[in-house]
Amino acid sequence: MRLNNNKNLNPKKQISFYFDGTKYQGYEGDTLASALLANNIHLIGRSFKYHRPRGIISAGCEEPNGIVQLEQDEFTEPNRRATEVVLYNGLVAKSQNRWPSVNFDFGEINDLLSPFFPAGFYYKTFMWPPKFWKTYEHFIRHAAGLGVSPKKEDPHKYEHYHYHCDVLIVGSGISGLYAAKIAASEKLQVLLVEQESETGGSILSANNSNNKINGQSQNEWKKEILEELHSYKNVKIITSTTLFAYMHYNYLLGIQDIDPSRGNKKNNSIRQVLWKIRAKKVILATGSIERPITFNNNDRPGIMLAGSVSKYLNGYGISLGKKIIIFTNNDSAYQTAIDYHHHNIKVSAIIDIRNEIDGDLPSLAQSLGIKIYSGYVVSDTSGRKKITSVTIRKFEEKDSNKKNTEILECDLLCMSGGWSPTVHLFTQSRGKLKYREEDSCFIPDQPHQQTISVGACNGIFDLKSILEDTRKSVRDFLDCKSNDGKIEIYDAEEINFGKQQNSWLVSSKDKISKSKMFVDFQNDVTAKDIKIALSEGFQSIEHVKRYTTNGMATDQGKTSNVNALGIISELTGVDISNLGTTTFRLPYTPVTFGAMAGRYVKEFFDIERTTPIHEWHLDNDALFEDVGQWKRAWYYPKNNETFNEAVNREVKATRDSIGILDASTLGKIDIKGRDVSEFLNRVYTNAWSKLEIGKCRYGIMLGDDGMVIDDGVTTRLGEHHYLMTTTTGNAASVMGKLEDWLQTEWPELEVYLTSVTEQFGTISLNGPNSRKIVESLFPKQNFSSDSFPHMSFKELEIDQVKCLVMRISFTGEICYEINVPSSYALSVWNKCIELGKNHNITPYGTEAMHVLRAEKGYIIVGQETDGSVTPVDLDMDWIVSKKKYDFIGKRALYRSDTSRKDRKQLVGLLTTDPSIVLEEGVQLVEVETALPMPMVGHVTSSYYSPNLGRSIALALVKSGLNKKGTKLIVPTSNKSIEVEITDPVFIDPKNERLLA
Amino acid sequence: MLLINCPYCGEREQEEFSCGGEAHIERPKNPPELSDDQWADYLFLRQNIKGLQFERWNHSFGCRKWFNVARNTATDEILAVYHIDEKPPQLESNDPITPCGEPKIGSGNFSTTKK
């Protein structure tokens, strides 16, 4: 029922929303929870395991029950806390975990069967026989979970926002606002972050007529401070932003909801912003969370936290009941009774567990004529879909029976089991907690970073002390002793609070084993489950948590963790301080994947690199392959060719006449300096000092463990000037490795490395007719093998554009690699195509490149090698210098393992049936035996060779170099394939074509 | 995320850097004279300290310089940053205390002080 003092709401702006298909009215400024409650809807959903009816219990992010499926289709979001969803016109929400409806739910049968679903039910029931898990899993997964994940793509945008400040203040309650005022007047850059849509924290739930600050109502006080804060240029205030992670060096992450009305607009506006904040100092003013009390049937709709009931009353102007009962173990809940009294609604009874009640608030309540049952407890409740009555008895009479109990009718039960400081961020920052026995609070002890906690999150609950402590701590923390008189001193009336009395379990007529005393509402964990876990030998709090799943739901146990500790303590007799707490992990509240991904989705997920000739490939129907971040042309199908047809055509044309390849992606490192030759001697296995200017040399690079990490051709451009090429995928890592050696081990060498990969486009012309093309391109140059032999280099010009031309080959054919400055690469490429028309010039992609090099037995690092292959294994001893005293990887080549004779070695393989193309990666055996068969090697490359008219393969085989001519078997599931070990060079072993 | 004070560029976010493992492992000058065990020691054996550890870091998305960092691996505090050719600094707390009173070896989930 809505009263008429709703200070947070704009009373004129009525808006409508839908819950489970029915249209309701709310006000702008409402949350979904307040709007539902104002419409007298208490039944919001069904519980996780037992499908018990559940309603809203709180008014904040701690809410375990009031979670809904928000919006529909691509906009849908499961498990949204109704207490946090800001109401907007046309909002659509549905209840969760019920079928067919929240009022009539078939799953409710689980509640009757609950004796059969104790803690560990799934672990115990579905572990045997092991094979059947796959059958069970399907059904269990279907039954699990509350809401439904969206199936469609999220149409919204998300942003990341970086922010740096001197002081970050988390929470805008009384302490937060006061701290902001102090920090602001110190001229510091201040960021004040509030998780709710409006600033104020506890002020939003405060009664205007008491708890005044300097004689002002809290609302007036807030208005004044906010006005002042807004006048400062160095203060930024953001709301609807939850800081969910506190990491090293005061790095905090926050998630900000930008557009709560997204359901209506359905445009692609920015929905959430992920804030990445680095603050010099952090002031935590995160408040506290009220604890429920654990008694039988404490989960019925209409049983709520007392402080939240006050918030709905004072903040939203909603009266939640006519017959109200309060159940408490401390003074704070009396305020709720007093608040209701101010609206002329009388609370029927306050059930107080304590015998001695001496605080100021209880005295006030008593003077207002509210009935107080001192030393009493609520031991049970009734009412299926909403509470109808409570059973009370004297606390001291442990065994309740009909004689000593009394039944009181009610439609709202407000409970308060004390308050837990919100220390989540503090512990995430690795601050140490201490336990305060008298009100069972974990409070901040020793901070680990530049941070302080003020107000309720520091375990200070009365207004006068909060104001005093905040002023003192913040001024000390910010070191503002110099200008003492500047900051206004705030004061409030002193209120005496009576002592809290903790009782973690309120027994009922049922034994624990038959009771339904809920601890974790969202995961349906009861006191019974905790008892079972303890009796089954789980001792560590972390183990009890995992076995019972207490605190593991989407609310992360904000209302249940301390109660669970208390129950364990009560059942085991171990002090809570000795139990420790479970870890407060991030995120504090759930974070959407969208916010984490930000803009880094689709084409922005990773960098896409294209060559300067990319456009031509697109125009000529190339299909692309991802090689690292590069898009490389894979093959160019013509006239509906299949993959195999196209690749075979490209391979054949290259050997028959001429093929052209875009090799621009090869890594290129320009190396200059006095000591380059010495440097190359150290990083490559072969010798470099004697390489003539204008000559090229192939090199293999090892790690210091002796394993091949890269290969490529390096050209000596001048006395102290080389151009190194690396494999496409390793360009960056090779560059990094070279820099590492130079900076850390050989600072005495004068060597300068410059990555020039993207400065050049590389056009590779291969095949017997390639010479004809370069002769036309560079008419002044003689391209005969005498004047431009294999493994040599010339700097040539086309239309005044300087090109670096190397005669090197990765196909075994005559080949010229033309390195053209990138911006001219496409025009030179076009020229080559034009000139090659009469020779059937054929562009080929990476697949044909693979086949061509495999025909010639050339390796690819990363395909023939896998980080466990030495150059000796590759039968490349010839490239390993015996004369050099040392190079990277040399010593490791004669460790006991690397010099083993039975290492896997690179060989060729030919299938007996030439039409069979082996699968890459298949294992090789000598004889087929029962499983497991002893394996002697595996296939690293396998293709159909159109030039040979048969399949070919490369493989690593144990002692393979000595086994040429012997047969091996590839066992597959339906047949055995016979292969013969051969030399890996299938075409032109005498290099006649290459050197022609 | 750490905030690392690159000796060449100043404070930058951790995402600009990459860690190169334990620092002060010099590549032997005479590999051919070393036994397999000695070479394996250089190649493979690294410390994994809970507490003060000296590490190599590279400002890979910045100046690309290598430098050394003294880090408490239990708390992630960076205690010193120094050039690659400098000796490790003498730090007062060679055995930094873990923040939550966890055991010195292994993990611990106690966020309260154990009595």
Contact residues for A212 (Cβ-Cβ < 8 A; gap 6+): A218, A492, A493
Cα separation, A861 vs B7, in Å, equals 36
Q: Please give the single-letter amino acid code of residue A936.
A: V
- For range A284-293, the mean pLDDT: 97
Task: Tell whether A704 lies on the interface with B, counting CB pairs under 8 A.
Answer: yes
Cα separation, A136 vs A143, in Å, equals 11
- For range A882-902, the mean pLDDT: 94
| A441-457 as b/e: b if 16+ CB within 10 A | bbbbbebbbebbbbbbb
Task: Tell whether A431 lies on the interface with B, counting CB pairs under 8 A.
Answer: yes
pTM, 2 dp: 0.90
Whether residue A466 contacts residue A456, with contact meaning beta carbons closer than 8 Å, is answered with: yes
Tokens found for residue A70: 């928000």
What pLDDT, on a 0 to 100 scale, did the predictor assign at position A209? 79
What pLDDT, on a 0 to 100 scale, did the predictor assign at position A10? 59
- Cβ-Cβ contacts under 8 Å, A743 against chain B: 65-66, 84
- Cβ-Cβ contacts under 8 Å, A745 against chain B: 26-27
pLDDT range class, residue A120, cuts 50, 70, 90: confident
What pLDDT, on a 0 to 100 scale, did the predictor assign at position B110? 42
**DSSP string covering A904-925:** EEEEEEEESSTT--PPTT-EEE
Average pLDDT of every residue of chain A: 92
Packing angle of the helix pair A334-342, A360-367 (nearest 10 deg): 40
Q: Which of B32, B43, B112 sits opposite A581 (nearest CB)?
A: B112
- Cβ-Cβ contacts under 8 Å, A581 against chain B: 110-112
B-proximal residues of A, 258-317, CB under 8 Å: 278
Question: Chains A, B: CB contacts under 8 A, how many?
Answer: 86
ipTM score:
0.91
Residue among A163, A248, A433 with most chain B CBs within 10 A, to mutate:
A248
Beta carbons of A278 and B3 less than 8 Å apart:
yes
Whether residue A987 contacts residue A948, with contact meaning beta carbons closer than 8 Å, is answered with: yes
- Of chain A, the percentage scoring pLDDT greater than 90 comes to 80
Tell whether the torsion through CA atoms of A856, A858, A860 and A866 is positive or negative: positive
Q: Which of A580, A583, A891 sits opposite B31 (nearest CB)?
A: A891
Using CA coordinates, name the residue in chain A closest to B31: A891
pLDDT digits (tens, 9 = 90+) for A731-781: 999 999 999 999 999 999 999 999 999 999 999 999 999 999 999 999 999
Judged against a pLDDT cut of 80, whether residue A53 lies above it is answered with yes
- For range A579-588, the mean pLDDT: 86
What pLDDT, on a 0 to 100 scale, did the predictor assign at position A897? 93
CA-nearest of A470, A418, A466, A409 to A442 is A418
Judged against a pLDDT cut of 70, whether residue A535 lies above it is answered with yes
Judged against a pLDDT cut of 90, whether residue A109 lies above it is answered with no
Tell whether the torsion through CA atoms of A377, A381, A386 and A388 is positive or negative: negative
Strand ranges (E), A852-975: 904-911, 923-925, 935-945, 950-958, 967-971
Beta carbons of A740 and B39 less than 8 Å apart:
no
B-proximal residues of A, 34-63, CB under 8 Å: none
Q: Which of B3, B32, B36 sits opposite A886 (nearest CB)?
A: B32
Contact residues for A484 (Cβ-Cβ < 8 A; gap 6+): none
- For range A222-238, the mean pLDDT: 96
Q: Please give the single-letter amino acid code of residue A833.
A: I
CA-nearest of A976, A925, A977, A975 to A951 is A977
Task: Tell whether A748 lies on the interface with B, counting CB pairs under 8 A.
Answer: no
What pLDDT, on a 0 to 100 scale, did the predictor assign at position B75? 82
CA-nearest of A906, A807, A813 to A852 is A813
Cα separation, A643 vs A626, in Å, equals 17
What pLDDT, on a 0 to 100 scale, did the predictor assign at position A578? 87
- Cβ-Cβ contacts under 8 Å, A248 against chain B: 1-3, 76
Judged against a pLDDT cut of 50, whether residue A73 lies above it is answered with yes
Cα separation, B104 vs B115, in Å, equals 15
Beta carbons of B111 and A743 less than 8 Å apart:
no
What pLDDT, on a 0 to 100 scale, did the predictor assign at position A49? 86
Judged against a pLDDT cut of 90, whether residue A270 lies above it is answered with no
Beta carbons of A448 and B99 less than 8 Å apart:
yes
pLDDT range class, residue A115, cuts 50, 70, 90: confident
B-proximal residues of A, 562-591, CB under 8 Å: 577-578, 580-584
Cα separation, A349 vs A378, in Å, equals 11
Beta carbons of B1 and A891 less than 8 Å apart:
no
Beta carbons of A580 and B111 less than 8 Å apart:
yes
- Of chain A, the percentage scoring pLDDT greater than 70 comes to 95
Residues of chain B with pLDDT under 50: 108-115
pLDDT range class, residue A648, cuts 50, 70, 90: very high
Q: How many CB atoms lie within 10 A of CB A15?
A: 19
- For range A425-441, the mean pLDDT: 91
Task: Tell whether A890 lies on the interface with B, counting CB pairs under 8 A.
Answer: yes
Judged against a pLDDT cut of 90, whether residue A266 lies above it is answered with no
Q: Which of A578, A584, A747 sits opposite B85 (nearest CB)?
A: A747
Residue with tokens 């920052």: A429
> Residue A518: which H helix or E strand, with range?
strand A518-520
Classify burial at A330, counting beta carbons within 10 Å of its beta carbon; exposed 0-12, middle 13-18, buried 19 or more: buried
pLDDT range class, residue A477, cuts 50, 70, 90: very high
Q: How many CB atoms lie within 10 A of CB A750?
A: 14
Judged against a pLDDT cut of 90, whether residue A513 lies above it is answered with no
- For range A254-258, the mean pLDDT: 93
B interface with A, Cβ–Cβ < 8 A, is: 1-3, 13, 20, 26-27, 31-32, 34, 36, 39-40, 42-43, 56, 58, 60, 64-66, 75-76, 84-85, 99-101, 109-115
What pLDDT, on a 0 to 100 scale, did the predictor assign at position A127? 66
- For range A662-676, the mean pLDDT: 97
- For range A717-729, the mean pLDDT: 96
**Phi-psi domain of A569 (left: phi exceeds 0; alpha: psi -120 through 50; beta: other):** alpha
- Cβ-Cβ contacts under 8 Å, B111 against chain A: 427, 432-433, 580-581, 583-584
Report the gap between the CA of B80 and the closest CA in chain A (Å): 15
- Cβ-Cβ contacts under 8 Å, A583 against chain B: 109, 111
Judged against a pLDDT cut of 80, whether residue A484 lies above it is answered with no
Whether residue A664 contacts residue A631, with contact meaning beta carbons closer than 8 Å, is answered with: no
